Amino acid sequence: MTAPSQRPQKLVAPDAVGGLIRAWLDDGDLLAIGGLFKQGRPMVLVREVIRSGRNRLKLVSSPGSGFDADLMIAAGCVAETFLPAVTLEDRMCPTFRSAVENGAITAHCVDALSIVGGYLAAANGVTFQPVAAWVGSDVPKHNPLIARIDCPFTGQPLYATQAIRPKLALLHAQEGDVYGNVRHLSTMTYADQMMARAAEKVIVSVDRIVDTETIVARPRETTIPCIYVDAIVEAAYGAHPTGSFPLYSIDEDHIEMYATLAEAARKGEAGADTALRAYLDRHVHHALTQQAYVESVGGAQRMKALEEEAASL
């Protein structure tokens, strides 16, 4: 007789995510955010972090970040960043810029290889990854994650970049199952797979939960196996305003609206700080469910337009 399955499901209810974040992330901890620039960022989870009241966080991500980092800095959650590039691409990140310029945060000088190498080392259970490709730049002179070493075999000078082991990684993908198997449908998977292996705890938001049989039908498409995932939550449009391809595109209008508010606040324009606080209240602090958030940013009609743009590409 076959014993009944005791396999625990990792699917958690949306209203349980805040508690998990508070349990798995303390003030001052290193937090990793998945995606790249304006794609595949776990925004529904980022808003939970802001609402959790955690502060003095250290942020790390893939080589490119932008909107979410700026929002978390604006919300006062961040003390240090280990982010190689922080930009909205069309324009700079206003709050990141002002926070570094006025000393409110420390933006460590790191590059893509030290971040990717750091995840690799952590994922492989070693303390550093050797790097040879840094020549001539001032970045290695200031990068706190690296050291000069001699190759034990050839004696040649090399850099070592230290393992990065985030306390918690927050990731977003399009699909997953109740056991935490994750499937990116997007062409790019960023550094999400490495972060999942490097972090102590991993929470993934997915646009939709699918049946495990559909995962088993195409196992090579499972980008992050369940063994690396601690919790998975279903949140339609969970990456908004960043894109979740091929399901919905980047909401450039929303990001531009935010950036304009944040830029006015950076310049100290009259009333701009209040307007930025009002943005955070409306879209983060008072939008307690994903449904309420989606309503706050234009509802079903706006989401349909972003879906149509993604489908037209």
Partner 1 sequence: MSRYPCSPAEMQAVLLARDLKDGELGAAGASAAIPMAAMMLARLTHAPDLQIAGEMFVNPRPRQLWNSMLDDRALGACEAAETFLELFGHSHRGLDFFFHNGMQIDAFGNINLHHIGGTLHKPKMRGPGAANISYAATSRRFYICTGNHSQRTFVPRADFITSPGYLDGPESYHAAGLAGGPCLCVTPLAAMDFDPATLRMRLKSVHPWSSVDEVVANTGFDLGIGERVEETRLPSENELSLLRTRVDPKGLLRR
Residues that bind partner 1 (CB under 8 A): 36-39, 62-64, 83-87, 89-90, 92-93, 96-97, 100-101, 103, 106-107, 109, 111-113, 116-117, 120, 131-139, 142, 186-191, 193-194, 243, 245-246, 249-250, 309-310, 313
Least CB distance to partner 1 at residue 3 (A): 38
Three-state SS at 79: strand
Least CB distance to partner 1 at residue 48 (A): 24
Question: What is the rounded distance in angstroms from the CA atom of residue 97 to the CA atom of residue 263?
Answer: 10
Q: Which CB sits closer to partner 1, 22 or 89? A: 89
Question: What is the rounded distance in angstroms from the CA atom of residue 49 to the CA atom of residue 85?
Answer: 22
Q: Which CB sits closer to partner 1, 21 or 199? A: 199
Question: What is the rounded distance in angstroms from the CA atom of residue 232 to the CA atom of residue 312?
Answer: 29
Least CB distance to partner 1 at residue 18 (A): 29
Q: Which CB sits closer to partner 1, 142 or 304? A: 142
Three-state SS at 76: coil
Burial of 125 (C-beta count, 10 Å sphere; 0-12/13-18/19+) = exposed
Q: Which CB sits closer to partner 1, 34 or 180? A: 34
Q: Which CB sits closer to partner 1, 196 or 284? A: 196
Is the distance from CB of 63 to CB of 191 less than 8 angstroms?
yes
Least CB distance to partner 1 at residue 249 (A): 6
Least CB distance to partner 1 at residue 160 (A): 14
From residue 87, alpha-carbon distances to 73, 96, 229, 236, 243 in Å are 13, 9, 29, 25, 16
| Residue whose entry in the numeric block shows the structure tokens 């990854």 | 129
